[in-house]
Amino acid sequence: MSTQASATGVDEVHILWTSEGMSCDGDTVSVTAASLPSIEDVVLRAVPGIPKVHLHNKVLAYETGEDFLRPFFQAANGELDAPFIFVVEGSIPNENIHAEDGYWTAMGNDPKTGKPKTLNRWIDELAPKAWAVVAIGTCATYGGIHAMAGNPTGCMGLVDYLGEDFRSAGGLPVINVPGCPVQPDNFMETLLWVLHQAAGLAPTIPLDEQLRPQWLFGKTVHEGCDRAAYYEQADFAHDYNSPKCQVKIGCWGPVVNCNVTKRGWMDGIGGCPNVGGVCIGCTMPGFPDKFMPFMDEPPGGSFSSALLRVYGPFVRTMRGITNKSANTEPKWRHPGDKLTTGYQPRYPRA
């Protein structure tokens, strides 16, 4: 994608955030814990350079009912007073597979028919008009828990619904920020980039092949994990109380793109493997089906750990010997009457 900054920017923007997909509102709740920046910093314009932001989120809004829905209807009709960013939370159900008079999920009523207005109709009307479209959480990005095998709704991620060729009014594809729930600062950092880009102060947001921000999801859990050194030494945990590598008790960290081991959860604290939990792959497109049953050793874990057993114990032994040496002071540090450091004066005394 191009990385040239926009020549002109916007001074004011609405964020229309719907969590009416198949979801638990967990991503909204998670984002209230963000601090880099916080949602308050963005709304109060405490971050230099961003446009004035009007946030419309049902959990965080003072407005209710028709008052809350008014900007959504205005945006759908092209009547909103400023550009908007459309944030979608929750899986997108397939409204083509149920009974004719039913629906899976809706937000408000259609003024013309008086019937519930489905999420799918909102997406059809709002996504093409939005300056940017952001899918928050794994349910919205890839389908998540609700889209697992055997589900009755046929639900999917936002890109599955809109198509890979979709582009917003700002020329952007859907921006995916996965996580179950989303890591709060990952989302707010992404939103901040989009806001700066909308203001003409940032280049185009860099996304990977799965449309995730590259700088957030370019590394694996394992690559940032404090337990990784135990892995290369074939020193594995056998229960959840151990500080050692958890691959053999269900951790998928070596193959999962996520930065939680580096970033933590709230203010750098927490994060699954950091506090004794195994990585179950919740940021990945294949979640949850390809990572089940949880807590079982991943298929590749036995093979990789078997290979490590060949040299792991040797590496561990050699490091132990070196560690013992490094924990011993040099022999010349003593209070004796002779200097034994090996010092050789440049100009010997006469």
Residue ranges for the known binding site for [4Fe-4S] cluster are: 24, 139, 180, 222, 225, 245, 251
CB-CB contact of 216 with 186 (8 Å): yes
Binding-site annotation: residue ranges for [3Fe-4S] cluster: 279, 282
Number of residues in the chain: 350
What are the tokens at 350?
A: 């006469």
Rg for the chain, CA atoms, rounded: 26
DSSP collapsed to 3 states, the chain: CCCCCCCCCCCEEEEEEECCCECCCHHHHHHCCCCCCCHHHHHCCCCCCCCEEEEEECCCCCCCHHHHHHHHHHHHCCCCCCCEEEEEECEECCCCCCCCCCCCCEEEECCCCCCEEEHHHHHHHHHHHCCEEEEEHHHHHHCHHHHCCCCCCCCECHHHHHCCCCCCCCCCCCEEECECCECHHHHHHHHHHHHHHHCCCCCCCCECCCCCEHHHHCCECHHHCCCHHHHHCCCECCCCCCCCECHHHCCCHHHCECCHHHHCCECCECCHHHHCCCCCCCCCCCCCHHHCCCCCCCHHHHHHHHHHHHHHHHHHHHHHHHHHHHCCCCCCCCCCCCCCCCCCCCCCCC
Judged on CB neighbours under 10 Å (0-12, 13-18, 19+), 77 is exposed
Binding-site annotation: residue ranges: 24, 139, 180, 222, 225, 245, 251, 279, 282
